Structure 1
Amino acid sequence: MENVRERLLKALFDTRAIRVCPAGEPFWYTSGKIGPYYINTHFLYGGEEKANSLLKVIDGVKDNKEECTGVLREIVMKNYNEDDIYRNTIDILVDAIKDTIPDDDYDYISGGERRDWFFSIAAADLLQKPHITIFKDLDAYVFQNGRSERLISVNGARVLHIADLITSASSYERAWIPAIRNAGGVMKHSFVIIDRMQGGSELLEKHGVKSNALVCIDDGVFREACRKNYINKGQLEMVKKYIENPDMFMKEFFKNNPDFIEKALNSGDEKTASRARLCIEKGYCNIS
């Protein structure tokens, strides 16, 4: 029988929630840097098409803050009952929370706009906890017993925040933690599907938040993926070099592939070209 890690890893690659580029063809990131993999955790909702469909729904309802959570709860729980991959992911998350955090050690579950809601709303429903829906402007609403009310005060209550992904935890520091603090609450725990191991958990610890994750992105994840034939050996070696030193990986790649920038600039794809221009402006490559 497959263990929990194997099941989740299979789901991540089956849905392309983790996507590794072919050897020698790194992705362009919005920062103007390059790297060998993308992570779209929300694809665990049942695939890219389903995930993008839910994002469209979110964009259509998030301005009606009082109704937002109720609409999304109905949709995600319907998908939970119908989609094996999503149900498996949520069940793994809920079981991990039960095994890690005592039920009496948190009073609310929170999730931040937008992708956290893919996981936080369903988990709150199954764990029978009120859900605090936090918006990017730090406004927040509590959903409980089918009703949603603006968050005013929680009188020192303890909160577990559920997120799809943690990188540097900038969203936590900018919005999620302050929103709970402004209501007199304490964010005591965080649980994410994926931790990119880029300093986020350490930052949360400084804010007094205990960080937990189902999957931590290190070379062990990709070695296992290679053993399972989700990626090949060439992709594995590329990812290992990147994880060891992302900036050195980038510099060496540009040195060994001097025409990569030029091809991006002339690709005809404005998104790719703009990221290549940003790369030059930021000095990530030695091209002027």
Structure 2
Amino acid sequence: MESLSQEYKLAMQKQGLLALVKQKEPKFTDTWFPYTSGQIGPYYVQSVVVENDGKDYAEAVESICRIIRAEVGVTEFDAIGGGESRDWDFSNPVAVALKKPHIKVYKDGKILGSTDVKGKRVVWVADLNNEGSSIGKKWYPTINENDGKIVYTCFYVDRREDGVKMMDELEIPNDSVVPLDENAWKMLMDIGYIDQSLYGSLCERLKDKGAWAKNMLRTDAGLEKFWELFSDPKTVAKARNVLINGYPDMQEEIADRLSKRFKKITVKELLEG
């Protein structure tokens, strides 16, 4: 078993990235998008869009298989696992390609497919590594509770954010086909998908996404985006989530700036309505 060379992995990253670009992913903004965690960022990505092109989808699956063959070895694990439900878009065909049982785990802990997990060494296959909350709070505990063990995880896309720390804490070796790192942003700039200004912003965020977020919220454009979300009944919950779970230390600052810029508002009104 021989690990993939860095040159080969960069070529695989570029191929996967171009497959996403073909489907107009990732999507970027000059301001920010609200994430489920309450944090904010300048882009979001839907990795399952590669299914829109059969050839790209097949290559995505084969790329995951290549990583698993090289980094784990097909004789060193017993089953492929994936979580409800987008993981299955990748884990199911990977299990077929590697001729391994497929363990499908639901968010409520129910297991379908290969249900005999006891003693199994499981390679987890997922569409996206984001905050790492799903694998940390759902998939990893479920496999453990059924006396199995996740020995490796392969993501199609890795945002290189809090999910990286989660994998380290769980001590699970992992890799991805398309890490959204500085190399990825440089590739996108080189093909004209993003400009140099956005490239610089993305690289700054890689260094410290918390500082990036606070700096963004302190700009006029960032504040306007917050007010836009807060003023719409359909998105007000997302705006509140940013201050409750994302950046609670900015509550008074945001309330003060909104009061000066738009209308008088207290922190309580900002958080509770």
TM-score in same-fold range (> 0.5)? yes
What residue is the counterpart of 1:270 in the other structure? 234
The alignment partner of 1:160 has SS state of strand
Task: Please list the CA deviations of residues 82-101 of structure 1 after superposition, one character each: whole Å capped at 9, or x if unmatched.
Answer: 71221121122222222222
Task: Please list the CA deviations of residues 121-156 of structure 1 after superposition, one character each: whole Å capped at 9, or x if unmatched.
Answer: 01101111110111111111234xxxxxxx2x4441
Contact 2:12-2:177 at 8 Å conserved across structures:
no
What residue is the counterpart of 1:63 in the other structure? none
What residue is the counterpart of 2:45 in the other structure? 39
1:223, distance to aligned residue in structure 2 (A): 1.3
The alignment partner of 2:254 has SS state of coil
What residue is the counterpart of 2:22 in the other structure? 14
What residue is the counterpart of 1:235 in the other structure? 198
1:13, distance to aligned residue in structure 2 (A): 1.8
Is the aligned partner of 1:130 residue 2:101? yes
One-letter identity of the residue aligned with 1:247? G
Contact 2:34-2:242 at 8 Å conserved across structures:
no
Change (3 A) 1:239 1:202: closer
Task: Please list the CA deviations of residues 8-52 of structure 1 after superposition, one character each: whole Å capped at 9, or x if unmatched.
Answer: 11012222342222x3x3222234443111021122222xxxxxx
In structure 1, distance between residues paired with 2:192 and 2:161: 26
One-letter identity of the residue aligned with 1:28? P
In structure 2, distance between residues paired with 1:243 and 1:201: 12
In structure 2, distance between residues paired with 1:118 and 1:173: 20
In structure 1, distance between residues paired with 2:167 and 2:214: 31
Change (3 A) 1:180 1:31: closer
1:208, distance to aligned residue in structure 2 (A): 4.1
Aligned positions, number: 240
Is the aligned partner of 1:112 residue 2:108? no
The alignment partner of 2:58 has SS state of helix
The alignment partner of 2:75 has SS state of helix
Contact 1:16-1:40 at 8 Å conserved across structures:
no
One-letter identity of the residue aligned with 2:23? T
Task: Please list the CA deviations of residues 193-218 of structure 1 after superposition, one character each: whole Å capped at 9, or x if unmatched.
Answer: 12222243443344342212122222
What residue is the counterpart of 2:69 in the other structure? 98
Task: Please list every run of 5 or more consecutive structure 1 residues that lacks an aligned counterpart in the other structure.
Answer: 47-81, 144-150
What residue is the counterpart of 1:56 in the other structure? none
Task: Please list the CA deviations of residues 44-80 of structure 1 after superposition, one character each: whole Å capped at 9, or x if unmatched.
Answer: 222xxxxxxxxxxxxxxxxxxxxxxxxxxxxxxxxxx
The alignment partner of 1:104 has SS state of coil
Is the aligned partner of 1:195 residue 2:158? yes
Change (3 A) 1:29 1:99: same
One-letter identity of the residue aligned with 1:105? E
* 1:220-259 matched pairs, under 5 angstroms: 220-257=183-220, 258-259=223-224
In structure 2, distance between residues paired with 1:287 and 1:202: 29
In structure 1, distance between residues paired with 2:130 and 2:175: 13
What residue is the counterpart of 1:74 in the other structure? none
What residue is the counterpart of 2:122 in the other structure? 159
In structure 2, distance between residues paired with 1:222 and 1:170: 25
Task: Please list every run of 5 or more consecutive structure 2 residues that lacks an aligned counterpart in the other structure.
Answer: 1-9, 256-273
- How large is the RMSD of aligned CA atoms in angstroms? 2.3
Change (3 A) 1:32 1:208: closer
The alignment partner of 1:171 has SS state of helix
Q: TM-score, normalised by structure 1?
A: 0.75
Identity, % of aligned pairs? 24
1:182, distance to aligned residue in structure 2 (A): 2.5
Is the aligned partner of 1:27 residue 2:33? yes
